[in-house]
Structure 1
Amino acid sequence: METPAENKNAFGEAVSNFKTFVRETFDIFHDTDRYATIDDIKAGVDMRGQNAWILIFSILIASTGLNVNSAAVVIGAMLISPLMGPILGMGLALGIYDTDLLKKSLKNFSVMVVLSLVTSFLFFSVPLFQNETNELINRTSPTVLDIIIALSGGFALIVAFSRRNRSTNTIAGVAIATALMPPLCTAGYGLATGKWHFFGGAMFLFMINTIFIATATYFVVKFLRFPLKEYADEKRKKRISHFITFVTLAIFIPSVFFFYQLYKKSDFEKCVGETLNKIQKQEGIGVFNIETDFQQQSVSFAVIGKSLDTHQIKKIQDHIASLGYENVQVSVLQDTENQQTLTRLSEIENSYVSNQQLLANKEAQLLEKDREIFALKEKLNNGSAISFVDIADEIKSLNDNVDGVAYYTILHTNFKAIDTIPNFVITFKKDTKQADINKEIAKYRKWLQSKLKNDRVVVKAE
């Protein structure tokens, strides 16, 4: 049986093993190549020669991908882009107090931005390439998720970059995830087309990505204890230290502000979406064309179906207020007069259909009366109970070339008696041969004389 002391030792050993496991799993110090990383980042800062040309060509590829709405082409452009170099340089410079590297990184970063904007501006200046695609639109409205991606990507990039055995897949993946190129291309599109909301939104997204990648680089450099740059003059070293601290705070504080603002914007849009989904289910209406403005604290949308009254709109405002956003202005695009007009139009259409049905019934009744009258006249004229309509239908059924049948009677007298002579005139189609017409007329004459039991029946062609 184990003693309490033995149990305590076993537990302590298990805890120690677990700590060792965690430390070995997450330790990034032992494989860090600090000096080689500094040299490589400094080498990648330059935006001259091949880097400048690669940047131009990658911007053209990315602009083409945005224009044809192809994510695959945009990803390919991001893989070959050298955009990350000056940004890593800025983060490293702040972390090791290297003002020369900071100046060089800022200079090359500015060159990079100008080259990218000019290249994309020239590309999108061609009218053929000015389509407003989804790939372009998606780069104009940054969210809090973009900050999370940029910060996480920056951490992953500098950690992978500082290894002795670097992971090319990680570096390539970060280049894709952080998406620095598409916002610059979209900003160029905004300049070329005069769509300033595209330019402003895309540049905001680009600056967010830049700041948070540099911030992540700074923190990892500090965490891994990269060697600080040595200065012979102690006073100069102190001034540079103060300057770098000031610049770091100048970057970090806006970063926190950006994060908070974008978080509140995303939360505001989420609350509005939940509220409108709820009102759709409760009122049985359709809601579309939703526009939210976090800065102005306003919401506008259109409804289809029944209109919303003042009480219902107030209910929407109260629900959004209960989620933490008071005094939100709600604008509903609806037209009560148009709804009344549609209702009245529906009533008129129904009335028209009813009248048409009544007219059709009246016409059918009148046609039936005409047939009865004609049949009675026929009986009076020749004593036959045979209907002209029936005879005409039979004639037509016997020959498809018949276009029409006419009937009239002639009163004839020899001054001893008066006879009523039935006359039928048959109209044939124009392409019917005369020989065929003569043959058919003779056949119809015999048939009608037999049917009407009257040898005086006359049948002729028109």
Structure 2
Amino acid sequence: MEENQFAGATPPQHDSGEDVKKDFKGLLGSVRKFLSELLEIRTNTDAVATKESIIADIPFKGHTSWILICSIFIASIGLNANSTAVVIGAMLISPLMGPILGMGMSLAINDIDTLRRSLKNFTVMVVLSVITAFLFFYLFPLRDESSELLARTKPDIRDVLIAFFGGLALVIARAKKGTIASVIFGVAIATALMPPLCTVGFGLAIGKPWYAAGAMYLFIINTIFIGLATFLVIKFLRFPMVRYANSQRRRFIARVASITGILVMIPAGFTFYQVFQESLFTKQAQEFLRETIEVYQFNGAGRYVDNLTKLEYNDGEAPLIELVCMGDELIPENVVNTWRTQKSQYSRLKDAELHIIQGGKDDSQEKFNYVSELYEKNKAELLNKDEQIRLLEEEVASLTRNVGKQIPFREISAEAKANYENITGLGFSYQIRTDFNKLDTIPVFEVQWKNAVANSQKEADTKKILTWLKLRLQDSTLVIKEVE
């Protein structure tokens, strides 16, 4: 009886492996569907309207030319006045994006006529912008090297990424049915095409072509990566290719477009690699500074001047880390050697040179830098600008002449006392002399002798001391005077 009851009982239920697989596949399908609906952009793309709108923005003539000239003037004034708000306003009205989008799209769809038209108008755009900026800075009396201008003379990894992702956002916004205008305005501000062109004109106007070269390089980098982003998005959205009746011409144009696209991508990839390597060097250098000089405790009047620190990558050939410390206290040599050992532990700093400008060794150079900084920071508060500039230039020239002429008087006096027993006192000063044709500064040592020393002995010792000091200080102009 009991056996029959057990025999008729229902066995326990277990989830089969197939049920688990079905549930997992269902979950993956739901996630895939959600992501597809979230990120899919092809279905809401209007290829014909997008192409027409991009082509319509390519020409630079009439109203568009005058808008560009006015926006360049506004941007130049904003850069000159160091006003970010004015520069942003100029970028909002600038029509610079049209030919760049045209080049990227024409390469993607093999439209050789649009590519030719885009290149022509792009050249006109650049030349017109540079000439306008040059005339402004050349004729305008105030040509200060503001931080807004100097920031546009060298690209880094952030500029590359901003240009690329800005270009992606712009083309995606243009491709959407019902273009998102706010995105277009935002990209115009973020990619900052206009300020580098203004800086090119500024560099040419003040006679500093390296400013112009760096700014033009930054503009070209922005252009290449915006064009590359346009090319990739148009390809992804599968815009229809331009068809030609002649099959041989179609194949030729397809090859030209492909080769041009590859040639553009090669320098873009190389530039990205270069600026990425430089950013890694800067990051490790800043980390090295945080672990060394920034935590070093000066006992006396010395201090580290962080805003004068130089980090120069120099394309990896001879990187430089230059630190500046002011005051009379010197950092011990053993500490500096320890820092050099620590520097070698960073993979990207092994070959970098570590220079430390400190204390009395480069005091005049420190003062030179300080006067220059003081002039830059306080120029807006000058009451009589011409007179103040003249005084500052005379001070800077005087300090420049004295760089390297600092005398280690404490060591010199100790050595003189040890080598010449007849000396009872030693003095030093700079004496200004003129032959009425030129003015010069002469280092003068004043020697005081013991009373019992004969004149012949004084003369002999004076000649020896003079010869020794000229060799010791590497200065043939110094003279010695006897003090009674």
Report the TM-score, using the length of structure 1 for normalisation: 0.70
1:283 Cα deviation from its structure 2 partner: 5.1
Matched, 1:321 2:344: yes
1:301 Cα deviation from its structure 2 partner: 2.3
Taking the aligned partners of 1:319 and 1:265, their CA distance within structure 2 comes to 20
Residue number in structure 2 paired with 1:132: 145
**In structure 1, which of residues 254, 273, 286 is the aligned counterpart of residue 304 of structure 2?**
286
1:279 Cα deviation from its structure 2 partner: 1.8
| Identity fraction in percent | 41
SS in 1 for 2:292: helix
Q: Give the 3 Å change call, closer, same or farther, for CA 225–128 of structure 1 in structure 2.
A: same
Taking the aligned partners of 2:70 and 2:287, their CA distance within structure 1 comes to 44
1:68 Cα deviation from its structure 2 partner: 1.3
Please say which of residues 286-295 and 221-230 is displaced more in the overlay. 286-295
Q: Who wins on radius of gyration, i.e. which is larger?
A: 1
Taking the aligned partners of 2:362 and 2:109, their CA distance within structure 1 comes to 68
Taking the aligned partners of 2:103 and 2:185, their CA distance within structure 1 comes to 20
Matched, 1:161 2:174: yes
CA contact (8 A) 1:276 1:287 kept: no
SS in 2 for 1:125: helix
CA contact (8 A) 1:317 1:328 kept: no
Q: Which runs of 4+ in 1 moved over 6 A?
A: 338-344
What are structure 1's unaligned runs of at least 5 residues?
345-462
Q: Give the 3 Å change call, closer, same or farther, for CA 338–40 of structure 1 in structure 2.
A: closer
SS in 1 for 2:119: helix
The equivalences for 1:162-311 within 5 A come to: 162-280=175-293, 281-282=295-296, 284=298, 285-288=303-306, 289-295=308-314, 296-305=318-327, 306-311=329-334
Q: Which amino acid aligns with 1:90?
A: M
1:276 Cα deviation from its structure 2 partner: 2.1
Deviations 1:109-144 (A, max 9, x none): 000000100111111112423122111111112110
Taking the aligned partners of 1:302 and 1:282, their CA distance within structure 2 comes to 13
Q: Give the 3 Å change call, closer, same or farther, for CA 313–233 of structure 1 in structure 2.
A: farther
RMSD, aligned CA: 2.2
Deviations 1:224-253 (A, max 9, x none): 111111112222222222211111111101
Taking the aligned partners of 2:209 and 2:334, their CA distance within structure 1 comes to 38
Q: Which amino acid aligns with 1:36?
A: A
Q: Give the 3 Å change call, closer, same or farther, for CA 290–96 of structure 1 in structure 2.
A: same
The equivalences for 1:272-421 within 5 A come to: 272-280=285-293, 281-282=295-296, 284=298, 285-288=303-306, 289-295=308-314, 296-305=318-327, 306-325=329-348, 326-336=350-360
Taking the aligned partners of 1:294 and 1:128, their CA distance within structure 2 comes to 35
Q: Which amino acid aligns with 1:286?
A: Y
Matched, 1:93 2:116: no
1:330 Cα deviation from its structure 2 partner: 2.0
Matched, 1:112 2:125: yes
CA contact (8 A) 2:325 2:359 kept: no
What are structure 2's unaligned runs of at least 5 residues?
1-12, 364-405, 411-484
Query: Aligned pair count?
Result: 344
SS in 2 for 1:113: helix
Q: Which amino acid aligns with 1:252?
A: M
Taking the aligned partners of 1:148 and 1:173, their CA distance within structure 2 comes to 15
